[in-house]
Amino acid sequence: MQTAETEKVDVGQAVARVLKEVFGFDSFRPNQEEIVRAIMARQDAFVVMPTGGGKSLCYQLPAHVMPGTCMVISPLISLMKDQVDAATATGLRAAYLNSSLKVAERVAVQRRLMAGELDLVYVSPERFAMPEFIDTLEHVELAFVAIDEAHCISEWGHDFRPDYLKLALLTQQFSDIPVAAFTATATHRVQEDILARLGLRRPHVVRASFNRPNLFYKVVPKQKGLRQILRFVKDHDRESGIIYRTTRKSVEETAEMLVHSDVKALPYHAGLPVETRAANQDAFNRDEVDVVVATIAFGMGIDKSNVRYVLHGDLPKNIESYYQETGRSGRDGEPAHCLLLFGYADIPKIRFFVDQIPDADEKRHAINCLNDMIGYATVHACRRKALLGYFGEHYPESNCGGCDVCAGEVEKVDATREAQMILSAIARTGERFGMMHVVDVVVGADTQRIRQLGHDQVKTYGVGKDHDKPYWRFLLDNLVAQGVVQQTEGTYPVLQLQPVAREVLFGDKQVHVLRTRKATGRRKATAATAVAAYDELLFDELRALRRRIAAARRIPPYIIFSDHTLHEMARKCPLTRGSMSRITGVGDAKLDRYGKTFIDAIADYKEGKQH
């Protein structure tokens, strides 16, 4: 007779075997094992785990072991084919159901689902909401249901989707089926809202650390945005990257500029035809282009594991969006770079859309979120600490080693004297003028408007001529962000002094700004984690081989092997099936399918080096 204790041992052995043989990993990442065990014990689960933390393994592994079908509900229709290809690569019988399928294809998948021929099926929330589909599920042996992007059910989340509200039916209509909800980003308030709306039953709750030590966070003042973007992309030549812009026009403009500068780049936004969007995303996923430029508002589901940087050319509207978008880089655990170009001129653009929100509570929430984002961009301390603090997580280290502040790329500078100059200029011109006019007064510009208004006679005219106009705009951005100055709304915003400005003017309060240090030499910033040394030429050969195989199979290269796996191959040079099986990420299915090809390539490379 099998006791509960022996059952635990059997489950543990099965899980460890599948982890190694199927996925090629010797050990779990943090939190994965307890989530897998909860699901296999048929317990509901709620998981907040950052992108790159290994969420998909938490439901793919049980899908390998448990009888029946795992249904994954996801809003990312454009990703489902790649997710199915990735699951199939591990040996799962997988398919998807969404509006992109033709009728015959949809019928074929549903037939396989009802016949018990699928281990894993991806379903859009719209599909699940259809009464006839729920009727179909009544005849399916469901092992469990996984809800991806679970924050979409919360109106307090950054990406609320009404279709997700129907998911509350899961625990009501399928009372004996465990439900596991996953999200990469949720404040405590959003977490409580998700739990209540889904009606999860005594769930196993995991709130993993939001810290992504392999990501390097950097913020620089936006001055000449396109030029700054091009310089950054050129510094990351031949690396995969995503650039986020706010508007379709700026997406197109940025993509065109990069293409004219010999960068392989494509645009991605809601205004493009569906076929073009799909083709552009496929080209990026398959490493046919290096850069995709996308709108923040539309978003872009992306499972690509080897994205080496995410650049925000404009200010995101909230920290949740920023965190999720930066999280699309470095999913393979290798170092990646997150750059934000911050200019105060972006804020009124976001406020315009916020002001259209009819509900007062929702509008207030959106304004608070925007203010938190501005605070992050202008923070005078470790950016990682500020980012994690937003999600209620304390970062204990005094220096994270993975942001521009902690890496010493920026310095805190006393700008009190200059602040007094520009505050005085605002006061002496009657607090009735905009940023550009006040800057012109301070630098002593000889314009007709200044002479007409008599502002060339005020005491502060020309006091700041030792600095250029971009410096004074940068200082004003900081004074607005720090609440010393307010910029009014409307077509012609003017600058107005806030109560704290008096303290600055009379020397009772200092003003500090962050300034980028002048580089003593070219140095690429690195994250707190680093890649161990490997043969770079061999890595390039293996990456080219991966791309050729992927093109022949019509799947993204990262599905074959991640950059992390190729780096390890280029470091350890496995020449036998046994040594290849010990490389992280090489499970039995991939070993059978690709092992010999990569072993032969490594052997040829080593032989070529000897001659």
Which pLDDT belongs to residue 522? 41
Tokens read off for 193: 């809202």
Mean pLDDT over the full length of the chain: 87
Q: What is the pLDDT of residues 26-41, one digit of tens each?
A: 889 889 999 999 999 9
pLDDT band at 438 (very low <50, low <70, confident <90, very high): very high
Residue position matching structure tokens 């969007």 = 277
Q: CA-CA distance, 126 to 131, in Å (whole number)?
A: 11
Q: CA-CA distance, 492 to 145, in Å (whole number)?
A: 53
Picking from 550, 564, 551, the residue whose alpha carbon sits closest to that of residue 594 is 550
Which pLDDT belongs to residue 371? 84
Domains 4-207 and 215-409 share a fold: yes
> Looking at the predicted structure, is the pLDDT value of residue 529 above 70?
no
Residue position matching structure tokens 């026009």 = 249
pLDDT band at 6 (very low <50, low <70, confident <90, very high): very low
For residues 4 and 579, the model is more confident at: 579
Q: Specify whether the CB–CB gap between 432 and 494 falls below 8 A.
A: yes
CATH superfamily, with its number, for domain 4-207:
P-loop containing nucleotide triphosphate hydrolases (3.40.50.300)
pLDDT band at 601 (very low <50, low <70, confident <90, very high): very high
Cα distance between the two ends of the chain: 64
pLDDT band at 10 (very low <50, low <70, confident <90, very high): low
Picking from 166, 123, 163, 114, the residue whose alpha carbon sits closest to that of residue 142 is 114
CA dihedral 551, 556, 560, 561 (to 10 degrees): 120
Q: CA-CA distance, 580 to 535, in Å (whole number)?
A: 16
- Segment (H or E) for 278: helix 274-285
3-state DSSP call for residue 332? coil
Q: Specify whether the CB–CB gap between 77 and 278 falls below 8 A.
A: no
Q: How far is CA 223 from the centre of its chain?
A: 24
> What CATH topology corresponds to 413-516?
Arc Repressor Mutant, subunit A (1.10.10)
Q: Specify whether the CB–CB gap between 289 and 307 falls below 8 A.
A: no
Give the chain's radius of gyration (CA, Å).
27
What CA–CA distances, in Å, run from 608 to 537, 538, 576, 578?
12, 11, 18, 23
Tokens read off for 62: 């049980």
CATH superfamily, with its number, for domain 215-409:
P-loop containing nucleotide triphosphate hydrolases (3.40.50.300)
Which pLDDT belongs to residue 523? 44
> Looking at the predicted structure, is the pLDDT value of residue 608 above 60?
yes
Domain boundaries, the chain: 4-207, 215-409, 413-516, 536-610
What CA–CA distances, in Å, run from 425 to 344, 458, 497?
19, 8, 11
Share of the chain above pLDDT 90, in %: 49
Tokens read off for 461: 């005219």
pTM of the full predicted structure? Answer: 0.75
Picking from 235, 157, 607, 218, the residue whose alpha carbon sits closest to that of residue 402 is 218
Q: Specify whether the CB–CB gap between 313 and 244 falls below 8 A.
A: yes
Which pLDDT belongs to residue 531? 67
Q: CA-CA distance, 526 to 516, in Å (whole number)?
A: 16
The amino acid at residue 22 is V
- Segment (H or E) for 287: none
Which pLDDT belongs to residue 5? 45
Angle between helices 435-443 and 469-481 (to 10 degrees): 130
pLDDT band at 408 (very low <50, low <70, confident <90, very high): confident
Q: What is the pLDDT of residues 334-366, one digit of tens each?
A: 899 999 999 877 887 888 888 888 888 888 888
Phi, psi of 293 (to 5 degrees): -105, 120
pLDDT band at 232 (very low <50, low <70, confident <90, very high): very high
Of the options 1.10.150.80, 3.30.70.20, 3.90.550.10, 3.40.50.2000, the CATH number for the domain spanning 536-610: 1.10.150.80
> Looking at the predicted structure, is the pLDDT value of residue 486 above 90?
no
Which pLDDT belongs to residue 152? 86
- What's the rounded mean pLDDT across residues 124-143? 89
Which pLDDT belongs to residue 344? 74
For residues 582 and 354, the model is more confident at: 582
> E strands along 91-235, which residues?
94-97, 120-123, 142-147, 179-183, 204-207, 215-221
Q: What is the pLDDT of residues 145-204, one digit of tens each?
A: 999 988 888 877 667 777 788 888 888 888 899 999 998 888 888 899 999 999 899 999
> Looking at the predicted structure, is the pLDDT value of residue 1 above 50?
no
Identify the weakest region by mean pLDDT among 74-78, 246-250, 528-532, 594-598: 528-532
Q: CA-CA distance, 169 to 242, in Å (whole number)?
A: 36
Which pLDDT belongs to residue 352? 81
Which pLDDT belongs to residue 375? 83
Which pLDDT belongs to residue 4? 43
Tokens read off for 288: 């046919």
Q: What is the pLDDT of residues 540-563, one digit of tens each?
A: 999 999 999 999 988 889 889 999
Which pLDDT belongs to residue 8? 47
pLDDT band at 11 (very low <50, low <70, confident <90, very high): low
